[in-house]
Chain A
């Protein structure tokens, strides 16, 4: 019997993953009003750095390498989930330093700069890892399938959805429940006032860009066992991320989360009932929403309208 519940559950897990991919993108667009076209490449780099830490051959040899390889995979995986985003976050800081000169000028400069960064990162990936595909090893506890509702389900898919939910929650706490979050939101609305109050806006921007980049890298690592690792995997991420931000409303945290969930549900359900429309469905959803609400579902005045 063909039942709907598995498809709804699948849509929900897929939606959480889409929301995670979009979150870092949203943070930088919403808070800094900069569209970071390198988001997809940073997403891919997160997956590659994680692979370097978990897959053979390891980047370090000798005693350190032997010690690291001897650790159980779940422990190495957990460490990589923290360290890989931090490493990629450092690159995010470099990109932000480059973007500094474009602040207050035509947004096109920022777009071009991040587009250039995307090309450089993708070529960097090709030169280090080549064009071959890789599979990220995952601990046994979150690999394989289990049976529920008389169907086999992917353990990793549920782990990934749970991890995405945790990252979303942490980001929300940071933005909405800390002094740091309050200041960066204030900086986005009135940078002069924030500066007058004695806050260093330059440092705040570095922090926002680094966090956005780390979220991209974490999403890359989490999605790697599902999508596979290859140099152009970033393109698969940046397009839905952009779409989700516009759909949810530029700058809206919950807009990005809800739009991600919506996109996941729509893709999941169309794949079940009209499979050839499954990828197209997210674009149709965007057209429908933007036709009736140009600022997206939860958007205020967006930079696209400025």
Chain B
């Protein structure tokens, strides 16, 4: 009791201030030695699985594509796990339906990072969804692989140090087709534009290329998302009589549009030049494949590895899956594969180390199952790759042989000129570090 009292007397206001000052000084000294903190998140433990969040849409206008993308990504993860994983660690994955909805995608991304400890996120078709995930991933320094969203904004003004874009963008696809179409098909063009960022960006790219090639845009019709009846638009197209129609209408909307165009035989009245056509969108309705369109892969390309890839896909496909891999599944598979390989090469799961590996990525054509070598643009984080032009196959060898590939453009010939100007990647040290 007496001792306690003595102690109390010893702790004076002066000693408190002195002690506090010393503690602050010690903390500052430690800070000088160890700070700023290098690791904001460190999930890594010996032998602990690496966890990846698959932010794929399972419903909404890109639900069908999202399911295909998911299958491509999980196929890749299964193959790595069968070979012992990465750095001797198994890969675990989790997925949740992002519903083709940016708000839902944000919530899913937050949950995957904060509650599920995912150190990498992968997957998106809709550019709004991809952008929403990017913003969440940026906060935490989590690497995000945008596998299938093709808006030029994704690797342009919305690019990010933590994001890598694996599909060709609207401008790449458009460049492969528009100039030739102006010269060979006609100069009177009409744009049919999905009224959101991907549609606008793609149509803007088309407009510039058409006008540069001496063509004229006679009208642009804006199509709201979730339009189910295109008859009014088609009536207007019939009355305006363009020589070429360039639709930038994606997902379910694009599917229904093409079915209605084919039903009316409007593809006979004007040439239809689409920037891109995703495989899951045409699977149920091959008769709806109208005009010419861009793609970055086809399961019947006569290239090494393609047949084997298709066989591996078919060996694991369940009853509900599309029986052959399409471009969406291909992008999911390739984005995942190259990132896991980058982890292996870096010898660490540290996010900055992986980002630096991916920025140097070069993929030989034979390894990528495309005609030309691909490379990652370190200034935009957008994979530069072969762009194919295709149309409906008049002589299919089987039920899945829907496309006829009519040309293959080298990556350097279809580089998006705006991308590099719009994209400003923030320095590495502005992002939290993550060890997965």
A-B CB contacts (within 8 Å), total count: 113
A157 to B239, CA, bound (A): 19
- Contact A276–B224 (Cβ < 8 Å): yes
Whether, in the assembled complex, A278 has its beta carbon less than 8 Å from a beta carbon of chain B, the answer is yes
In the complex, chain A residues whose CB is within 8 Å of the CB of B231: 10, 14, 154, 157, 268
- Contact A151–B238 (Cβ < 8 Å): yes
In the complex, chain A residues whose CB is within 8 Å of the CB of B255: 133, 228
- Contact A14–B238 (Cβ < 8 Å): no
**Residues of A at under 8 Å CB distance from B?**
1-3, 6-7, 10-11, 14, 130-135, 143-145, 151-154, 156-157, 226-228, 230-232, 236, 267-269, 271-272, 275-280
How many chain B residues touch A (CB < 8 A): the figure is 39
A239 to B195, CA, bound (A): 20
- Contact B239–A3 (Cβ < 8 Å): yes
In the complex, chain A residues whose CB is within 8 Å of the CB of B320: 130-132
- Contact A271–B233 (Cβ < 8 Å): yes
In the complex, chain B residues whose CB is within 8 Å of the CB of A157: 231
A6 to B237, CA, bound (A): 12
- Contact A145–B265 (Cβ < 8 Å): yes
In the complex, chain A residues whose CB is within 8 Å of the CB of B228: 226-227, 236
Q: How far is the CB of A161 from chain B (nearest CB, A)?
A: 11
A151 to B232, CA, bound (A): 12
Known: A14-B231, A131-B58, A133-B284. A280 touches B224 (CB 8 A): yes
Whether, in the assembled complex, B416 has its beta carbon less than 8 Å from a beta carbon of chain A, the answer is no
- Contact A272–B236 (Cβ < 8 Å): yes
In the complex, chain A residues whose CB is within 8 Å of the CB of B240: 2
In the complex, besides A3-B239, A10-B231, 16 extra interface pairs with C-beta distance below 8 angstroms are A7-B232, A131-B63, A131-B67, A151-B238, A151-B239, A152-B238, A152-B265, A226-B256, A228-B285, A230-B252, A232-B59, A268-B231, A271-B232, A276-B224, A278-B224, A278-B232
Q: How far is the CB of B234 from chain A (nearest CB, A)?
A: 8
- Contact A132–B64 (Cβ < 8 Å): yes
A14 to B283, CA, bound (A): 27
- A145, closest chain B residue (CB): B264
- Contact A231–B235 (Cβ < 8 Å): no
Q: Which one of A1, A135, A230, A279 contacts B224 once the chains associate, using CB atoms below 8 Å?
A: A279
In the complex, chain A residues whose CB is within 8 Å of the CB of B429: none
In the complex, chain B residues whose CB is within 8 Å of the CB of A3: 239
Whether, in the assembled complex, B222 has its beta carbon less than 8 Å from a beta carbon of chain A, the answer is yes
- Contact A230–B64 (Cβ < 8 Å): yes
- B318, closest chain A residue (CB): A130
- Contact B227–A279 (Cβ < 8 Å): yes
In the complex, chain B residues whose CB is within 8 Å of the CB of A135: 259, 284-285
Taken residue by residue from 58 to 86, chain B's Cβ proximity to chain A (1 for < 8 Å, 0 otherwise) reads as 11100110010000000000000000000
- B265, closest chain A residue (CB): A145
CB within 8 Å of A: which B4-62 residues: 58-60
Whether, in the assembled complex, B221 has its beta carbon less than 8 Å from a beta carbon of chain A, the answer is yes
CB within 8 Å of A: which B92-150 residues: none
Q: How far is the CB of A242 from chain B (nearest CB, A)?
A: 15
In the complex, chain A residues whose CB is within 8 Å of the CB of B264: 144-145, 152-154
- Contact A131–B64 (Cβ < 8 Å): yes
In the complex, chain B residues whose CB is within 8 Å of the CB of A275: 221-223, 232-233, 236
| Contacts A/B (CB < 8 Å), 12 sampled | A10-B231, A14-B231, A133-B255, A144-B265, A226-B256, A227-B228, A228-B256, A230-B63, A231-B59, A236-B226, A275-B222, A276-B222
- Contact B284–A2 (Cβ < 8 Å): no
Whether, in the assembled complex, B405 has its beta carbon less than 8 Å from a beta carbon of chain A, the answer is no
Q: How far is the CB of A100 from chain B (nearest CB, A)?
A: 31
In the complex, chain B residues whose CB is within 8 Å of the CB of A156: 263
Q: How far is the CB of B233 from chain A (nearest CB, A)?
A: 6
A280 to B195, CA, bound (A): 12
- A274, closest chain B residue (CB): B222
Known: A144-B263, A279-B227, A280-B224. A232 touches B63 (CB 8 A): yes
- Contact B227–A278 (Cβ < 8 Å): yes
Q: How far is the CB of A70 from chain B (nearest CB, A)?
A: 23
- A122, closest chain B residue (CB): B59
- B238, closest chain A residue (CB): A151
CB within 8 Å of A: which B262-315 residues: 263-266, 269, 283-285
Known: A154-B260, A275-B222. A132 touches B235 (CB 8 A): no
- Contact B266–A152 (Cβ < 8 Å): yes
Whether, in the assembled complex, B322 has its beta carbon less than 8 Å from a beta carbon of chain A, the answer is yes
- B239, closest chain A residue (CB): A2
Q: How far is the CB of A31 from chain B (nearest CB, A)?
A: 28
Q: How far is the CB of A142 from chain B (nearest CB, A)?
A: 11
A11 to B64, CA, bound (A): 30
